[in-house]
Structure 1
Amino acid sequence: MRAKVAKLLADKPADPFTIGEISKTLGHSHGAVQQAVNTLVQRGEADQLGSGRQFRANGKTVFAAAVVVISPPGTHSPRAQAATARTTPPAPKAPGQVGPIRRAGGQLYHPRELASLPDVEALARLRAADVPVLLYGPPGTGKTSLVEAAFPDLITVAGDGDTTVGDLIGDYTLDDSGGYVWKDGPLVTAMTEGRALLIDDATLISPKVLSAMYPAMDGRRQIQVKAHRGETVTAQPGFFVVAGHNPGVHGAVLTEALASRFSVQIQVGTDYDLAQALRVDARAVRVARHLAGQVELGELGWAPQLRELLAFKRTEAVLGATAAWANLIGIAPPEDRDVVAAAVSKIAGIKNIKPLTLGRQLPATTATAAQQPPGGTNSARRGQR
């Protein structure tokens, strides 16, 4: 029951639920749901809001939904919890015990090992201890997917060179009556609601802009919003910052000031075994591994990551294998395409493949026939009448 309740909360992380709403949705008794919710709250795997009549997911809820833990009687009493915390260190779980986790958008995330824990649980523990995390690695390796799977209540900022302080903190916007109203930005929203905040591509944002969030990440856990009457915003429990950094992307600079704010920095690479388990063509995986080795040696600037390998699989299913190989070469940077094509030829045995390109114009009769609806043209149908 607890896992069912956790999944319901995790699937709609921004929505608060009452016991009655959960009971009606799941089709279980009010008492059983109440007991499950109480256990989740006591374990820190869900949050009790306001007057205590509503409940919402937090960073640990998704893990509670993925793993059913049967606890002995008395485990969740305050006295038992205090005794356990004093005498028993947390036992690491084997990464193999965690199955795929469904992200907010519906996609599945397959957890990986991190410090002898499932990565989603490791991030949940770091959040509970308020230890900010920086994830770094090539684009397409799953940094954002990991954070979305770990934190169902996530708010995401897509960083770039045009990101402003207002984009983070908030700004005045024009309302329907023609007046201006203040609208909180993602940083203020995450602070006031105690939610996780992902600054994706953080190192593309101007250091001056990023410095606006630093007071929220240190012992003060406050920021002053000068643009909104000098309001002081204090971070609520649960507020947590994760940043993503793509070292190879042009313009991405990890400054000392930014790096020092993240006590834990985790390298994220492609799990090629996972790509093969997801039934990506084994030859494409071998090509990607080979190219990744050349990147590590500094001989090449690009190699397919998990995102590109999954795109290969989808393209193959829709357009066929030849188009998938051509597209794999075409998405490589122009300066690396010859090397990628050579690897495809040598390792996969696919010869004379060039980037996916439009060919000659089709004969008009063929194109016209392909575009006709079933039953022929309108004029033909009118003639049949």
Structure 2
Amino acid sequence: MARLLADRPADALTTGEISKALGHSSGAVVQAVETLVKRGEADRVGAGKQFRANSLTAAAGRTPVISPPGTHSPRAAAATARTTAPAPAPAPSTPNPGGPIRRAGGQLYHPRELADLPDVEALNRLRDADVPVLLYGPPGTGKTSLVEAAFPDLLTVAGDGDTTVGDLIGEYTQDDAGAYVFQYGPLVTAMTEGRALLIDDATLISPKVLAALYPAMDGRRQIQVKAHKGETIKAEKGFFVLAGHNPGVHGAVLTEALSSRFSVQIQVGTDYDLALALRIDARVVRIARNLARQVDLGELGWAPQLRELISYQKIEAVLGTRAALANLVGVAPIEDRDAVADAVSKITGVRQVAPLTLGKQLSAATASAARPPLGSTSSAHRGRQR
């Protein structure tokens, strides 16, 4: 692929054009070209659907570069291997799917066990078998992170009550010249390019809107775009649908029609052992565990998940322990704040923890004295990991 781009340095090529020229599936091409872009060996053009060679592309075409273990999922690694020049040396070992995986945004994802496999590997096997997956659990437990780590070619639809059929399939928009053109949506893009598609917060979307997705998921694997001349879109190999569901969110309803489309449904909760491995204050992890037990018993409606625990760690590093604890109380729903504050006080010994609140106005002299020198670390932060 790098050689193809390097041979046509003035051209901005679509993944479809690259796929046709190389004779590979569009899904494999998407994954491989995204790898080139991440390495800085090709440039994304415009809205991201075209790619062009840069000063590093020719060298990439001459010498295959192997990503370090954990950089991509096994599927992405295989796609890259199929679309780069053959290596003269023996092939390296397959990246360990159980090790940390770097997501597209740069964050590391730490795989968890699923059906005696690393979760990213299990999801890739389900994709190969075309078995749609529903992930459900409280917000902040890592559902989206898992899918992003498993599928570098992922497209995501953030669902809510205002999501329309046009948001999925596409709609007419005005171009710079004032003419109306049909802009395909993420569902059509995923189908034609053989990519993974995550419908996040799917249960917040109207059932009438979700019905537009169902023909693409069943044996037909095609949809009809009524708004655009009634054309038929067929799914390419590799097209795969996942959905996210947050049962406790107001308005989230898992209908029978939606549930029946997902043969595998996976519960996702917070991994407190991972939180400890990430060096989050053990006292705060204990608070979260205790509150989670109360939620399970129906005594509370909220407990901190991994997202809140990671945020706590960052806030503590910047503002100190007391401010981070106050924020932990403040992010809880109002009806649960007293219980959270009580748990914080009992386990940490810090009394009268209340949500972060702006106080009285500071004078210029007071504000200057309160501001720590650049690069300094508060004593609270230095002693937080005991």
Give, as a single letter, the amino acid of the residue that structure 2 aligns with 1:30. R
Once the two structures are TM-superposed, the CA of residue 133 in structure 1 deviates from its matched residue by: 0.1
Q: Specify whether residues 282 and 33 from structure 1 end up closer, same or farther in structure 2 by C-alpha distance, changes over 3 A only.
A: closer
Cα distance in structure 2, aligned partners of 1:42 and 1:8: 12
- The Cα offsets for residues 136-189 of structure 1, whole Å up to 9 and x where unpaired, read as 000000000000000000000000000000000000001111110000000000
**Equivalent in the alignment of 1:46:** 79
Higher-Rg member (1/2): 1
Cα distance in structure 1, aligned partners of 2:282 and 2:76: 43
- The Cα offsets for residues 191-223 of structure 1, whole Å up to 9 and x where unpaired, read as 000000000000000000000010000000000
Q: Secondary structure at the match of 1:247?
A: coil
Cα distance in structure 2, aligned partners of 1:174 and 1:206: 27
TM-score where L is the length of structure 1: 0.76
Q: Which runs of 5+ in 2 are unaligned?
A: 1-31, 67-72, 85-90, 372-386
Cα distance in structure 1, aligned partners of 2:205 and 2:112: 29
Q: Specify whether residues 9 and 122 from structure 1 end up closer, same or farther in structure 2 by C-alpha distance, changes over 3 A only.
A: farther
Which of 59, 67, 91 lines up with 1:24 in the alignment?
59
**Equivalent in the alignment of 1:271:** 271
Cα distance in structure 2, aligned partners of 1:145 and 1:42: 17
Cα distance in structure 1, aligned partners of 2:34 and 2:185: 28
Q: How does 1:3-82 map to 2 (within 5 A)?
A: 8=35, 11=38, 24-25=59-60, 30=62, 45-46=78-79, 68-69=93-94
After the TM superposition, which of the residue ranges 109-118 and 361-370 deviates more from structure 2?
361-370
Cα distance in structure 1, aligned partners of 2:287 and 2:74: 47
**Equivalent in the alignment of 2:158:** 158
What RMSD over aligned residues (CA atoms) do the two structures have, in Å?
3.2
Give, as a single letter, the amino acid of the residue that structure 1 aligns with 2:157. V
Once the two structures are TM-superposed, the CA of residue 69 in structure 1 deviates from its matched residue by: 2.8
Once the two structures are TM-superposed, the CA of residue 22 in structure 1 deviates from its matched residue by: 6.3
- The Cα offsets for residues 318-337 of structure 1, whole Å up to 9 and x where unpaired, read as 00000000000000000000
Cα distance in structure 1, aligned partners of 2:176 and 2:357: 47
Once the two structures are TM-superposed, the CA of residue 363 in structure 1 deviates from its matched residue by: 1.7
- The Cα offsets for residues 252-280 of structure 1, whole Å up to 9 and x where unpaired, read as 00000000000000000000000011010
Cα distance in structure 2, aligned partners of 1:43 and 1:352: 51
Query: Is residue 239 of structure 2 the alignment partner of residue 204 of structure 1?
Result: no
Q: Secondary structure at the match of 1:287?
A: helix
Give, as a single letter, the amino acid of the residue that structure 2 aligns with 1:127. R
Q: Is the 2:76–2:152 contact (alpha carbons within 8 Å) kept by the matching residues of 1?
A: no
Q: Is the 2:135–2:265 contact (alpha carbons within 8 Å) kept by the matching residues of 1?
A: yes
**Equivalent in the alignment of 1:77:** none
**Equivalent in the alignment of 1:126:** 126
- The Cα offsets for residues 61-106 of structure 1, whole Å up to 9 and x where unpaired, read as xxxx9x9339xxxxxxxxxxxxxxxxxxxxxxxxx97211000000
**Equivalent in the alignment of 2:104:** 104
**Equivalent in the alignment of 2:341:** 341
Cα distance in structure 1, aligned partners of 2:127 and 2:183: 27
Q: How does 1:216-255 map to 2 (within 5 A)?
A: 216-255=216-255
Q: Specify whether residues 129 and 314 from structure 1 end up closer, same or farther in structure 2 by C-alpha distance, changes over 3 A only.
A: same
Cα distance in structure 2, aligned partners of 1:230 and 1:237: 22
Cα distance in structure 2, aligned partners of 1:42 and 1:115: 19
Once the two structures are TM-superposed, the CA of residue 365 in structure 1 deviates from its matched residue by: 4.1
Cα distance in structure 2, aligned partners of 1:348 and 1:368: 30
Q: Which runs of 5+ in 1 are unaligned?
A: 35-39, 56-64, 71-95, 372-385
Q: Specify whether residues 287 and 370 from structure 1 end up closer, same or farther in structure 2 by C-alpha distance, changes over 3 A only.
A: closer
Give % identity: 71
**Equivalent in the alignment of 1:189:** 189
**Equivalent in the alignment of 1:295:** 295
Cα distance in structure 1, aligned partners of 2:56 and 2:142: 34
Cα distance in structure 2, aligned partners of 1:228 and 1:174: 15
Aligned residues: 320
Once the two structures are TM-superposed, the CA of residue 360 in structure 1 deviates from its matched residue by: 1.1
Q: Is the 1:101–1:108 contact (alpha carbons within 8 Å) kept by the matching residues of 2?
A: yes
Q: Specify whether residues 131 and 23 from structure 1 end up closer, same or farther in structure 2 by C-alpha distance, changes over 3 A only.
A: farther
Give, as a single letter, the amino acid of the residue that structure 2 aligns with 1:350. V
**Equivalent in the alignment of 1:354:** 354
Q: Secondary structure at the match of 2:242?
A: strand
Q: Is the 2:329–2:337 contact (alpha carbons within 8 Å) kept by the matching residues of 1?
A: yes
**Equivalent in the alignment of 2:7:** none
